[in-house]
Structure 1
Amino acid sequence: MSVEIALVAARVRYGPLEALHGLDLPVPAATVTVLLGRNGAGRTTALRALAGTVPLSGGRVVWRGADVTRLPAHRRARRGLCLVPDRQAVYATLTVAENLALSPGDPDEALAAYPALAPLLPRRAGTLSGGERRMLAVSRALLTPAARVVLVDEPTLGMSPPVAARTYELLAALVTDRGAAVVLAEQRLPPPAGLPPGTLVHELRRGSLAFSGEPQEPTTSRESR
């Protein structure tokens, strides 16, 4: 299994606090990787470090064998990295239609994926519910056909169970149909039906790796909760 992108001994500091403590996190190509952890565990910081939206205070980011630690976020995006953050993932003052038009793909694909967005096209994104905003945000990844690495923080936050299930299907299709490496940051493991074969799970605790394995494997930390 080849590695698409990886954090190598990565450290990130926010002022006096260190959020990642020398984290090694390989992300295989054409695979779904799930980062689990409670708030403050470091999963969001790990996504940002991969995307280049926070600087490393130590360690490296390696993408297909090349050191991209100093490569700014916008240049990583041009190379095929798509980050969908958990907050401020859409342009609140623009309409849904205008948000979709900013993506490189065909907006009709987003409407086919999420038909509920169609009647919302003239509405400003800031007026949408939390689940509607997440649908619009995830559409960014779906409408980026050249994306090789897709990082999504809390992909189904605020969604109804049926829409959440549909979202996991769409994200899994980025792997099976496009060969993308998809990383999902979650507080809880998604339903097994939404995870394609070969999915890997990494559990973070206080900025360090507590467990790595397959979704079916129990972990001491999860069993103790």
Structure 2
Amino acid sequence: MSHEIALLRARVRYGPLEALHGVDLPVPAGTVTVLLGRNGSGRTTVLRALAGTVPLSAGRTVWRGEDVTRLPAHARARRGLCLVPDVRAVYATLTVAENLALSPTAPDEALAAYPALVPLLPRRAGTLSGGERRMLAVSRALLTPAARVVLVDEPALGMAPDVAARTYERLAALATSRGVAVVLAEQRLPPPGTLPRGTLVHELRRGSLAFSGEPPEIAARARE
């Protein structure tokens, strides 16, 4: 299994506090990787470190064998990295249609995945509910044709169960059909059946990797 991108002994500091303590995280191509952890565990910081929106205080970021530690976020985006953060993921003052128009492709796929967005096209994104904003935010990942790495922080936050299941299905298809490296940051493991075969789960605790395995192993640990 080839690695699309990886953190090697990565450390991140926010002022005097260290948020990541030497994390090694390989992210394979064509696979969904789940970063599991409570608030403060470091899962969001891992996404930001991969995207280049926070600098490493030590360690390296390697993309297809090339050291990109010092490559800024906008340059990583041009290379095919798409980050969907948990907050401020849409342009609140633009309409839904204008947000979708920022993508280089037609919004058909996003509107097929989220038909509830169709009547909301003239609405400003800042007036949407939390679940509606999340649908619009995840649409960015679906509409990035050249994406090689897609990072999504809490993709189903605020969504109804059926919409959440559809979201995981579409994100999984990016990996299984297009070979994209998909990384999801979650507080809890998504429901059974929503993740594709071969999904890898890394559990973070206080900025360190506590356990790595497949979803059934993580679920079994939670029941112990």
What TM-score, normalized to structure 1? 0.97
Q: Which amino acid aligns with 1:137?
A: A
> Offset of 1:192 from its aligned partner?
2.2
Q: Structure 1 residue 112 and structure 2 residue 142: aligned? A: no
- Say if 1:211 and 1:219, in contact at 8 Å, map to a contact too: no
Deviation by residue 1:14-68 (Cα, 9 ceiling, x = unmatched) = 0010000000000011000000000000000000000000000000000000000
Matches within 5 A, 1:110-189: 110-189=110-189
Alpha-carbon distance in structure 2 between the residues aligned to 1:32 and 1:191: 14
Cα distance in 2 for residues equivalent to 1:170 and 1:121? 21
Residue 191 of structure 1 is matched in structure 2 by: 191
- SS of the equivalent of 2:11 reads strand
Whole-angstrom distance in 1 between the partners of 2:218 and 2:130: 32
Residue 223 (structure 1) shift: 4.1
Question: Do the aligned residues in 1 keep the contact of 2:41 with 2:207 (CA within 8 Å)?
Answer: yes
Structure 1 runs not aligned, ≥5 long = none
Please list, as runs of the form range in 1=range in 2, the aligned pairs for 1:77-88 lying within 5 A after superposition.
77-88=77-88
Cα distance in structure 2, aligned partners of 1:182 and 1:137: 15
SS in 2 for 1:156: coil
CA spacing shift, 1:129–1:29, aligned 2, 3 Å: same
2:180 alignment partner AA = A
User: Match of 2:51, as an amino acid?
Assistant: A
Cα shift at 1:2:
0.7
Contact residue 201 and residue 218 of structure 2 kept, 8 A: no
AA aligned to 2:204 is L
Give the TM-score of the pair, scaled to structure 2.
0.98
Report the Cα distance in structure 1 between the residues aligned to 2:200 and 2:104, rounded to whole angstroms.
29
CA gap 1:143/1:219 in 2 versus in 1, 3 angstroms: closer
Residue 104 of structure 1 deviates from its aligned partner by: 1.6
The 3-state SS of whatever aligns with 2:217 is coil
The list of structure 1 runs, each at least 4 consecutive aligned residues, that deviate by more than 6 angstroms after superposition, is none
* SS of equivalent residue, structure 1 residue 217: helix
Residue matched to 2:201: 201
Provide the alpha-carbon RMSD of the alignment.
1.1
Cα 1:100–1:27 change in 2 (3 A) is same
Pair 1:218–1:35, CA change in 2 (3 A): closer
Which amino acid counterpart does residue 30 of structure 1 have in structure 2?
Answer: G
Amino acid in the other structure paired with 2:194:
G
Of 107-116 and 38-47, deviating more is 107-116
Aligned partners of 2:5 and 2:41: how far apart in 1? 21
* Partner Cα separation in structure 1 for residue 118 and residue 175 of structure 2: 26
Q: State yes or no: 1:35 paired with 2:35.
A: yes
* Aligned-pair identity (%): 85
Aligned to 1:9: 9
CA shift digits 1:112-143 (9 cap, x unpaired):
11100000000000000000000000000000
SS for the counterpart of 2:20 is strand
User: How far apart in 2 are the matches of 1:60 and 1:203?
Assistant: 20
Amino acid at match of 2:201: V
User: What is the CA–CA distance in structure 1 between the aligned matches of 2:10 and 2:193, rounded to whole Å?
Assistant: 32
Letter in 1 for 2:207: G
Structure 2: gaps spanning 5 or more residues: none
